Chain A
């Protein structure tokens, strides 16, 4: 039986797609929301470090699984490697309702005004595709506010002098600092810096009909056992379903956007939960599958009207793949600074996010999420024993004595760092897989060294007896594409150098939209989840508004 025609298809139920589905269905549009996974349950994974979304040695807790999915990595020119979803280099955004927002660390950052104007602020940087966004912080500000209030954020930006202007405070008070953060707070102030509590998509008080967070150590990488972490799965998606206008179709893998004989985009082809090929027609298709999967879907949608894939007329789909260059420092103290108050990450400074002499951009520096015991086995100063009695002793003596400060340095985009598809390698459903190739910018070396230096200074001032830097870029490295992946369907005003317009519509189509991190022109010096949610409101709000005015995007 053929599926009933709907107004809109949304592909992907993560930070972007979940929000779009809600915006459209609340406006009265009929929506089918496709998700390749199912509902994630905390009880399936407990506090099992080896099978989580952060440490994935025994598999990704919330998908994708190793049996049906794979990718191609070109670690260097001509060196083709098949990578499985739980292996480094795959970029394992979760395959479940809510995607990464179920198991993320839940930092709730607004990008700064400069992050939308990187080229105007820093000029052209050789070897990069640094560019301004076609929208400004002021344009996105109301969408940030909606994301904070509808999904739920605990924080107090008034404590951060570098925070961008806002009209309304965050809806929940910030979390109290853990022991490590208390120490780092006093220290940062002594250094003349401006520490503040990290804004979190986590309930510091009961909110949205869900309870308050009880601060377990195993937070990042896991679904919350008490549902205190705020994602799209427990906020906007239930709202969308409750309207009666939105059908969530789980365990469905969208393989192609369909184009008819006249060049009109009519809907999508997908494999249903029984792996049966199906068609769903719609007036509008919104793609929100993450920077890698969105690019893959557009590139796999080839027809005589779009011979190289939808939106790819100028070979820009999949390019400018960005991640973050995580860098910072670790320090050992001579007393316990760990008090088992999860998730660990608690305090931040934004003093070094922009306008650092000689550095393009920068990033926020935070104390790090708790390393669970297995992850901690790899955290050692240079030259320390990697095994044996000494390694075990270090583990026992220093698990509670380590301070870690690091942050997401804003990687500069490159034209060669990209996603495309490998037609010779197919997944379980026979769909050509993502191929990640190219190099990240070597310019990141200065910025990461600068940030790691500040992080180390922070820990030393706090009394660390031994410190070492992490994540400093020292040479050429393959492009990232991890959970912070972004940039592959860049928005812009010029169709020749971007894929989508300022509302996320693919330039060369009237009715295909992108609503996820793919739109990011640059990726900010922050974890990107709240910005992706805000873009969901931006794109979804635009479509719904136009629809109500009678625009059918033909």
Chain B
């Protein structure tokens, strides 16, 4: 493309944007609202996913050791577990520590567990985290078969149910996002088609005078990009503002809900929304325009 042509295309795009001001505003508003809803749903989904990941990563396997093991045997078992591919980390909890934890959890200070029971009933144990939480039950099965392991505990039954729940929450939220995205595409495409329909006479005329398709397309494309990025920019500003005020109010009242707040993560979401908006602007223009270029 020659620079002269490009300048002409930009001029035409800007001229027609200001000339068809009402339609431009309608398009930007539609885009902003669609992308705002999509973005809000996206943030909700990401947060839900984050929350579920946290729940899942809290899962651990507790492997109790036989009381008869020697110190080296205990060490060897740890090395064996650590060498398993599915294992992320292994922490040794000696029986004294375990008792202390129990004491803290269940008893008042003036109520000494050890004295009441007579001796420390707890064995040494390992707290094991899996690389992938989904593997917890298989991994637990495997560890329980190792020699020197007395018993394995990982919240049997509850874990399986948790994964059922998180799986369905994920499927539903992805379906929700896909539906919303389709709705946004449809709405934006319709608005752009309306804007182009209003100028079909001009397009027809250009075709009959002998303009090439690309000569006609470029100004419309630039308009599509401008409207799309403007619309998504507005929605991002609103979304960022809304989300940050949500974080600051929730962190005091509902502190146990772990909202994501890392700027890098949020910026990725906003960038994706911006790209989506601009892309939708161009794609919508391309598809809607082709019909009118067929003269």
A, B assembled together: no
* Chain B residues packing against A (C-beta within 8 Å): none
